[in-house]
Amino acid sequence: MMSQNLKGRRALVTGGSRGIGAAIVKRLAGEGADVALTYSSSPERASEVVKAAQALGVRSVAIQADSADPGAVVAAVERTVAEFGGIDILVNNAGIAVMAPIDEFRMDDFDRIFAINVRAVFVGAQAASRHMKEGGRIINIGSTNAERMPFAGGGVYAMSKSALQGLVQGLSRDLGPRGITINNVQPGPVDTELNPATGEFAESLIKLMALPRYGKAEEIAGMVAYLAGPEAAYITGANLMIDGGFSA
């Protein structure tokens, strides 16, 4: 049985139709929060996550939105407010990764990474904070690669996640006087469809970790739920690693 620490709270999770995002939606719902989620494709999968959340006794809605489009991000926040009567928790989970050697990296990919991994986080935080009252929570899903990128081709992705570190530290000063916290959760390798825990690539990463295994999406969701709850009210501007010792 989960606690009901988030009962009556209203949340939006971007990129919530699969992987870590879906686990976060279900965990927040299990804690009692009404949860909206965004998705860019696969409405069927988004609908499945919504149904799973609703089965836990909360309101849930799926919103199609490409996080590369600032207008779509703002519209998703406004839709959440309209559906639930406000917003208390924003989880900026949507993100992409493109890996390529520097000589082959395409500027289109560079621009899209920063549009989704950085600009959308700021736009979402700006839009949501306009509606948040004291006790509001903004939680970004960053990456351990902001601290350690042990293989070639990941420089742009690492840079995009490092940008979030400065963002939360700076925005914590803007939002703190209003009683709103903002933090990064920085996962290490997590077992998802896009990054499975088996195979040659996974084996190479596990060798770099203190705990010799991939993380579970539910473990990331647990940290997010803690930051969204009342016991984390004194944490802001923090970059919190949950990476099995990948960066140790």
Q: Domain containing 132 — which CATH number?
A: 3.40.50.720
Number of domains in the chain: 1
Cβ partners under 8 Å of residue 59, min gap 6 = 34, 35, 83, 84
Residue 2 lies in a domain: no
Angle at 223 between CA 131 and CA 188, to 5 degrees: 115
DSSP 38: E
Q: What's the rounded Cα separation, in Å, for the pair 121 and 98?
A: 18
Give residue-wise pLDDT tens across range 79-136: 999 999 999 999 999 999 999 999 999 999 999 999 999 999 999 999 999 999 999 9
H-only helix segments in 85-150 = 107-114, 120-129
Residue 1 lies in a domain: no
State the pTM of this model.
0.97
Tokens representing 186 are 């920085």
Tokens representing 33 are 């929060």
Q: Which residue among 157, 214, 226, 234 is the active-site one?
A: 157
Residue 248 lies in a domain: no
- pLDDT attached to residue 223: 98
Cβ partners under 8 Å of residue 34, min gap 6 = 9, 10, 11, 58, 59, 60, 84
214 is catalytic: no
Q: What's the rounded Cα separation, in Å, for the pair 108 and 57?
A: 42
- pLDDT attached to residue 158: 98
Tokens representing 195 are 């990054």
Range of the domain at 89: 10-241
Residue 158 lies in a domain: yes
Q: Is the pLDDT of residue 1 over 70?
A: no
Residue 130 lies in a domain: yes
Residue 160 lies in a domain: yes
Q: Is the pLDDT of residue 172 over 90?
A: yes
Task: State residue 138 phi and psi, 5-degree precision.
Answer: -120, 125
Confidence grade of residue 3 (pLDDT, cut at 50, 70, 90): confident
Residue 29 lies in a domain: yes
Residue 247 lies in a domain: no
Give residue-wise pLDDT tens across range 33-56: 999 999 999 999 999 999 999 999
Give residue-wise pLDDT tens across range 197-244: 999 999 999 999 999 999 999 999 999 999 999 999 999 999 999 999
Q: What's the rounded Cα separation, in Å, for the pair 106 and 5?
A: 45
Q: What's the rounded Cα separation, in Å, for the pair 196 and 206?
A: 12
What's the mean pLDDT in 164-169? 98
Q: What's the rounded Cα separation, in Å, for the pair 125 and 171?
A: 9
